[in-house]
Structure 1
Amino acid sequence: MTAVIPPSRTAPELLRVRRLARDEDGERLTSLLWRAGPGWRMISSSVLGGGIGERAWVLNAQVSHGYRRTDPERHLADLARAAGAHGPGVGLMTAADVRAYGRAHDGGVAAIATTGLGVRGWAASPEPGTPTPARPGTINIVVAVPAALTDAALVNAVATATEAKVQALIDAGYDCSGTPTDAVCVAAHSPRPDVECHAFAGPRSLWGARLARAVHHAVRAAAHPVT
């Protein structure tokens, strides 16, 4: 099921995702692929294509709950290549069923969220950290902003998206700030000399406010209320 908050009449529809199905390790698994195309710069905490740079696509791939591969970056690259995604991109992983994603729009900003909430808690925890990644469970958030953002604003946008995620989880009745493996990707137009490049993306800035509302609605739609 997909929960969709309709875009405004003037907003272009961003984040058109394509569902991809595959058989792997005896399971039927699904991925979501967004072909952004040229002219996008992304910031992400992803396994594949993390950091800041020009990116042409985003793949959010479902993997098995017992995922044991030690080369997730190569795995994601192979999945993207098999789907016909070429050039640099972003690859995310989750054990959640990505078909049950939440989607929302606000003022031209589009957000998609998938939520695997089986393992969750608060970020500030007395539990010791580990040197190796936790197994995929994961809330994955992908946001598209139809404006150019500076590097600092892209970092700011990640913080804003994270704040909105936590707000949505609390509103849905979850006593947590997320899962140990949450990931985020924010895409914005590549800067051009003739276009304004926005320096702020905090929750009260022009684009940050829209991003926060879109992420909040998308995560809230994907996170089934606690009963």
Structure 2
Amino acid sequence: MNNEHDAYISTMWPGLAISWESKSEYPHISMTLPERVVALSSAIHGGGYARLDRIVNRYVDRHYDCSEPLTDMHRFMESHGYRPESSAGLMTAVKLRYASIWEEGSSEASIVCCTTAGVGNAARAGQQRTTFAAYEPGTINIVLLVHGRMTAGCMVNAILTATEAKAAALADLDVKDHETGAMATGTTTDAIVLGVSGHDHYGVNHHYAGTATDLGGMIGRLVYGSVKESILSSQREERAL
């Protein structure tokens, strides 16, 4: 996605559109859903368990004042005509042209994954390192949209699988924790949104999304592929400068 007219229309989920709104004061990626989905997320706005029809990944620079992110995002939503009560908002310091969109479908579900990823603050979970109390814009933001049915437990399982796939992509790219030198498992500011349509078109209500399931396999491939592609895109540009 590299110009102000870019838009991605899903071939797997009719009516799902992803567009780059570059003329806004704050450029952002807007994901418009054809109907409200049940979502589970760590988004700064609309996070937790919610019903959403729009998901926004908003670019802010590294000097962004993070003192009131929730209030700021609410104002941003209103100023763009996005309903705050049914929208989730992520913030990223990664340039939006590095966004990677992957999708895949089967007889049991269809999935769309949109990721913006950078590794400037790569970190390894579980080790002693510097920590911060304040909010910071996300560095790896993953939006995972599933057209099908999933139980609440399956949604949590899906987020676990997505997190494992993200860590696998970082390992295969040999991304290291900049503070400790250990292999990174993520960055210090990652976020994820999982949205599920609940549509019964596929006739299956998924209870599991681990790596041994067909659903988990799709989730893993899409998250792995999109994280890896987004990071490689940013690294290629950095080497060219």
TM-score by length of 2: 0.80
**Aligned residues, how many?**
217
Q: Provide, for residues 2-59 of structure 1, a one-character-per-residue CA deviation record: whole Å limited to 9, x for no partner.
A: 7xxxx997x33675211113565xxxx4200111142311110111111112111100
The list of structure 1 runs, each at least 4 consecutive aligned residues, that deviate by more than 4 angstroms after superposition, is none
Shift in Å, 1:75: 1.6
Amino acid at match of 2:93: A
Q: Provide, for residues 155-210 of structure 1, a one-character-per-residue CA deviation record: whole Å limited to 9, x for no partner.
A: 11111111111111222231311111100011111377x95421111122222211
2: CA distance between counterparts of 1:22 and 1:217? Answer: 29
2: CA distance between counterparts of 1:37 and 1:81? Answer: 20
Q: Which moved more, 1:195-204 or 1:156-165?
A: 195-204
Q: 2:206 aligns with which of 175, 180, 198?
A: 198
The answer on 1:39 being equivalent to 2:36 is yes
Q: Which residue of structure 1 aligns with residue 5 of structure 2? A: none
Query: Closer, same or farther in 2 for the Cα pair 1:8/1:79, shift >3 Å?
Result: closer
Amino acid at match of 1:50: G
1: CA distance between counterparts of 2:50 and 2:57? Answer: 18
The answer on 1:117 being equivalent to 2:116 is no
Q: Provide, for residues 67-110 of structure 1, a one-character-per-residue CA deviation record: whole Å limited to 9, x for no partner.
A: 11422112222222222222422110111112210111122211
Contact 1:17 1:35 in 2 (8 A): yes
Q: Which structure's residues are more often helix, by fraction?
A: 2
Amino acid at match of 1:83: H
Contact 2:40 2:48 in 1 (8 A): yes
Q: Which residue of structure 1 aligns with residue 18 of structure 2? A: 17
TM-score by length of 1: 0.85
Q: Which residue of structure 1 aligns with residue 156 of structure 2? A: 155
Query: Closer, same or farther in 2 for the Cα pair 1:54/1:8, shift >3 Å?
Result: closer
Give SS of 1:66's match. coil
2: CA distance between counterparts of 1:78 and 1:8? Answer: 29
Which one has more relative contact order, counting CA pairs under 8 Å at least 6 apart?
Answer: 1
Give SS of 1:67's match. coil
1: CA distance between counterparts of 2:62 and 2:133? Answer: 20
2: CA distance between counterparts of 1:13 and 1:123? Answer: 38
Q: Which residue of structure 1 aligns with residue 100 of structure 2? A: 102
2: CA distance between counterparts of 1:45 and 1:170? Answer: 23
Contact 1:96 1:114 in 2 (8 A): yes
